[in-house]
């Protein structure tokens, strides 16, 4: 019994154990299930968060994409597979004037019609269809003028929009505005072509005078005739001047482009400046038998402060062009007037007008560019560098002024410039002498040119003297018979009927009882008839165009105030006897030129061939030189180092108790850029003269440093 009970208890215990195992197993399963459920919840939450984050990122991406399209300066259009617009950039809406967000669903012709032709719409649709059908990019070039603006060139790229899931979903068209790029490219090509033509022209412009110089030199060497040699020398001088002008143009343009050109501001006589310009061009006017007149506003001050040489360069360029492009018998006029006076500054305008070939609007647009002329045949027909007007434009701009052109083909041209200047130091005499009673002086002007008679009428009113006018010799004799003899006669040389020489002879024959002066005026050179005119009684000669100062000086001379004698007396003072200078120059011909130019001054000149020799001569000289002309570029030792050595020697001499004196050293060199001048000054030089030498500038330096106060 007991055994059975034990057996039953054991069985129950086993069942309990089995049940406990099953329960623990179920617990583990329930735990795993609960963990799985929890994990699923976590995953679900994560997925939900990721979805929300993705949606937020998508919204941000969409927003910035829209901002990109709205603010893009380029035209971008997205199309669906039916060629309808899905959206486009704001640039297209702005250019076409469409309200915002109104493009969706439209076709391209609904937007661009009115801005471009039907042919473009057809081409655009064809290219778009090709991209949608073939899934390959392509491009189209066209011009479109949006909103009434000038047509601009576009390259349109068509790109398929392909999805990895659904394939082709449409296409995008991107418009690239290449107008400015192509213009820049065309301008670069044009500039390159212009420079190539310029170099070709320069080769011609330089070789032609060089050929003349070499050829005329050979002819002169083989000729025994002095007249023939003089003829050759005159031709060589002209060719050399032309060649120097070409070189100066190139150098000036180089300085301008490097921003190294500077103005030299000094007082100058405005009328004399214009006279210098006229004198340069007068012989060309005479060769072409042109009518040339000058009109200067008397309101312009006698003296101005400015760069006289650059003004001469500018106006000479305008005037020489006018003469060059005006046919024989045509007219050229130079006029200057005061446009404005404000705060002590004068705005002067100078215009050069002609009756020449004229210039078209297309040619005018590029005429002031570097290396350009009106057309490529101009340089071949008329010559020139094509730099003159570009240089003039830059120079006038530096003077605060402008340059302009008014012209039509076949109707001539008017070139004008303006510049600002202050009133300069008053010098020279443009007034009639106070020692003469001008109220009693009577003038008679005889000329068949109405403009000359008008000039004298205005001058007489300006000077407040009596003046009668006659259009021919016969009319002049009638006035003399009616009014009696005159004090001064201005007589034109070439007149129909009774010419100027014969009229002067008759006037002098009738003037035995009263002293009178006859002045012959002419636009032509009077060298050929000078002796004949003097035999007829002509006392003075004046060449047209006439100037106020010409008339004043001539009247003063005729009536006893001889300024010419005064100037001649001044010129005699150019005697530098007793002074000794050192010329440092390695090129023999340059030394010969300086020695020959300065020979009339009685100046004692020693020569050194390089810097080493110059320093040695300065150190061994018992008496210091009064001045040194120093070249910069020389073998063995250049001018800069030689100057430094000379200054060091002078400083040592001062320390040893000798009388301190720094000899003036003037650079005489072809190095004329600003930094070259600064190097000269930095080395211890006192001044600078550029090559080729200007004799007047050399004399100016001598007057400055060899005056008694520097002795």
For domain 438-562, give the CATH number. 3.40.50.2300
Between 666 and 24, name the one with better pLDDT.
666
- The arrangement of secondary structure in 580-710, i.e. its CATH architecture, is 3-Layer(aba) Sandwich (3.40)
Residue % of the chain over a pLDDT of 70 = 77
Q: What is 72-177's CATH topology? A: Beta-Lactamase (3.30.450)
Is domain 266-423 annotated with CATH 3.30.565.10? yes
Domain boundaries, the chain: 1-63, 72-177, 182-257, 266-423, 438-562, 580-710
Give the per-residue pLDDT at 446.
93
Q: CA torsion 650→655→658→663, rounded to 10°?
A: 20
pLDDT band at 403 (very low <50, low <70, confident <90, very high): very high
Averaged pLDDT of the chain: 80
pLDDT band at 60 (very low <50, low <70, confident <90, very high): low
Q: What whole-number distance in Å separates Cα of residue 678 and Cα of residue 346?
A: 32
pLDDT band at 33 (very low <50, low <70, confident <90, very high): low
Give the per-residue pLDDT at 249.
75
Q: Given this chain, do its domains 438-562 and 580-710 carry the same CATH topology?
A: yes
Q: What whole-number distance in Å separates Cα of residue 632 and Cα of residue 638?
A: 6
CA 536 to chain centre: 51
Helices and strands per DSSP (H, E), number in the chain: 22, 22
Give the per-residue pLDDT at 627.
94
**DSSP 3-state of 498:** coil
Between 523 and 390, name the one with better pLDDT.
390
Residue % of the chain over a pLDDT of 90 = 18
> 174, 75 in Cβ contact below 8 A?
yes
Mean pLDDT over 213-231 rounds to 82
Token pair of 622, please? 């018992």
Backbone angles phi, psi at 424, to 5 degrees: -95, -175
pLDDT tens-place string over residues 35-53: 666 666 666 665 666 566 5
Give the per-residue pLDDT at 566.
40
Q: How far is CA 143 from CA 117, 123, 151, 367, 692, in A?
A: 10, 13, 6, 29, 55
Between 685 and 212, name the one with better pLDDT.
685
Give the per-residue pLDDT at 52.
61
Among 177, 111, 109, 164, CA closest to 135: 164
> 665, 684 in Cβ contact below 8 A?
yes
Token pair of 98, please? 């469409």
**DSSP 3-state of 442:** strand
Q: What whole-number distance in Å separates Cα of residue 441 and Cα of residue 439?
A: 6
Give the per-residue pLDDT at 514.
65
Max mean pLDDT range (55-59, 525-529, 660-664, 678-682): 678-682
> 582, 625 in Cβ contact below 8 A?
yes
Token pair of 435, please? 């020692």
pLDDT tens-place string over residues 327-376: 988 999 999 999 998 888 899 999 999 998 888 887 887 777 765 554 44
The answer to whether the predicted template modeling score (pTM) of the entire model surpasses 0.85 is no
pLDDT band at 609 (very low <50, low <70, confident <90, very high): very high
Which residues lie closer than 8 Å to 549 by C-beta, 6 or more apart? 271, 272, 275, 428, 430
pLDDT tens-place string over residues 168-210: 888 989 888 888 888 888 888 877 776 766 666 666 667 767 7
Mean pLDDT over 620-632 rounds to 91
Token pair of 126, please? 């064809």
Token pair of 285, please? 């006017």
Token pair of 295, please? 């009109």
Mean pLDDT over 62-76 rounds to 66
Q: What whole-number distance in Å separates Cα of residue 71 and Cα of residue 152?
A: 20
Res 570 pLDDT > 50: no
Mean pLDDT over 535-542 rounds to 84
pLDDT band at 643 (very low <50, low <70, confident <90, very high): very high
Least confident piece of the model among 135-139, 470-474, 515-519, 669-673: 669-673
Other CB atoms within 10 A of residue 404 CB: 15
> 443, 460 in Cβ contact below 8 A?
yes
Task: For residue 418, give the H/E element and its range.
Answer: strand 413-423
Between 24 and 577, name the one with better pLDDT.
577
Q: What is 182-257's CATH topology? A: Helix Hairpins (1.10.287)
In 494-547, which ranges are continuous DSSP H helix?
Answer: 500-509, 530-535
Instruction: Look up tokens 């312009």; give the residue.
Output: 300
pLDDT tens-place string over residues 279-316: 877 878 888 888 888 999 989 998 999 998 889 889 98
Token pair of 510, please? 């009738």
């Amino acid at each position: 019994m007991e055994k059975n009970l034990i057996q039953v208890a054991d069985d129950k215990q086993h069942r309990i154990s089995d049940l406990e195992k099953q329960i623990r197993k179920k617990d583990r399963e329930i735990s795993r299930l609960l963990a799985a459920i929890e994990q699923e919840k976590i995953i679900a939450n994560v997925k939900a968060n990721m979805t929300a984050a993705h949606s937020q990122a998508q919204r941000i991406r969409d927003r910035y994409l829209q901002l990109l399209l709205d603010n893009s300066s380029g035209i971008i259009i997205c199309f669906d597979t039916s060629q309808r617009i899905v959206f486009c950039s704001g640039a297209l809406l702005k250019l076409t004037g469409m309200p915002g967000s109104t493009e969706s669903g439209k076709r391209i012709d609904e937007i661009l019609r009115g801005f471009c032709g039907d042919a473009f719409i057809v081409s655009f649709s064809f290219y778009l269809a090709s991209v949608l059908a073939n899934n390959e990019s392509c491009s189209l070039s066209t011009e479109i003028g949006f909103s009434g603006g000038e047509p601009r060139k576009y390259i349109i790229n068509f790109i398929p929009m392909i999805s990895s899931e659904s394939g082709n979903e449409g296409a995008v068209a991107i418009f690239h505005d290449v107008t400015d790029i192509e213009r820049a490219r065309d301008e670069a090509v044009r500039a390159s072509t212009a420079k190539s033509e310029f170099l070709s022209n320069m080769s011609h412009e330089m070789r032609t005078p060089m050929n003349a110089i070499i050829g005329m030199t050979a002819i002169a060497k083989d000729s025994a005739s002095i007249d023939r040699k003089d003829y050759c020398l005159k031709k060589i001088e002209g060719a050399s001047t032309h060649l120097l002008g070409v070189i100066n143009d190139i150098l000036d343009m180089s300085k301008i482009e490097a921003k190294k050109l500077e103005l030299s501001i000094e007082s100058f006589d405005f009328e004399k400046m214009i006279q210098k310009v006229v004198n340069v061009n007068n012989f060309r006017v005479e060769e072409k038998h042109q009518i040339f007149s000058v009109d200067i506003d008397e309101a312009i001050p006698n003296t101005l402060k400015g760069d006289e040489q650059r003004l001469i360069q500018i106006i000479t360029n305008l005037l020489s062009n006018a003469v060059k492009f005006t046919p024989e018998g045509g007219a050229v006029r130079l006029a200057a007037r005061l446009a404005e006076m404000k705060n002590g500054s004068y705005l002067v305008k100078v215009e050069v007008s002609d009756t020449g070939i004229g210039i078209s609007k297309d040619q005018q647009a590029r005429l002031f560019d570097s290396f350009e002329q009106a057309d490529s045949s101009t340089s071949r027909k008329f010559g020139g560098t094509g730099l003159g007007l570009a240089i003039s434009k830059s120079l006038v701009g530096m003077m605060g002024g402008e340059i302009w052109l008014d012209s039509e083909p076949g109707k001539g041209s008017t070139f004008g410039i303006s510049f600002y200047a202050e009133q300069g130091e008053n010098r020279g005499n443009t007034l009639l002498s106070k020692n003469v009673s001008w109220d009693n002086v009577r003038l008679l002007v005889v000329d068949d040119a109405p403009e000359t008679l008008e000039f004298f009428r205005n001058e007489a009113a300006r000077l407040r003297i009596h003046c009668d006018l006659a259009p021919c010799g016969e009319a002049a004799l009638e006035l003399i018979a009616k009014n009696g003899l005159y004090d001064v006669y201005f007589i034109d040389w070439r007149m129909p009927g009774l010419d100027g020489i014969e009229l002067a002879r008759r006037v002098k024959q009738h003037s035995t009882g009263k002293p009178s002066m006859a002045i012959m005026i002419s636009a032509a050179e009077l060298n050929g008839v000078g002796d004949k005119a003097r035999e007829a009684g002509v006392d003075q000669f004046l060449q047209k165009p006439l100037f106020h100062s010409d008339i004043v000086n001539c009247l003063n001379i005729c009536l006893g105030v001889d300024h010419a004698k005064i100037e001649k007396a001044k010129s005699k003072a150019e005697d530098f006897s007793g002074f000794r200078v050192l010329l440092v120059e390695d090129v023999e011909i340059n030394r010969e030129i300086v020695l020959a130019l300065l020979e009339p001054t009685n100046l004692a000149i020693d020569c050194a061939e390089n810097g080493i020799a110059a320093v040695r001569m300065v150190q061994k000289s018992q008496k210091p030189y009064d001045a040194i002309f120093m070249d910069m570029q020389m073998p063995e030792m250049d001018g800069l180092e030689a100057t430094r050595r000379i200054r060091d020697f002078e400083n040592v001499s001062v320390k040893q108790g000798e009388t301190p004196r720094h000899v003036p050293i003037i650079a005489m060199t072809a190095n004329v850029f600003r930094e070259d001048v600064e190097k000269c000054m930095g080395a211890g030089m006192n001044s600078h003269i550029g090559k080729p030498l200007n004799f007047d500038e050399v004399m100016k330096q001598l007057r400055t440093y060899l005056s008694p106060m520097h002795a």
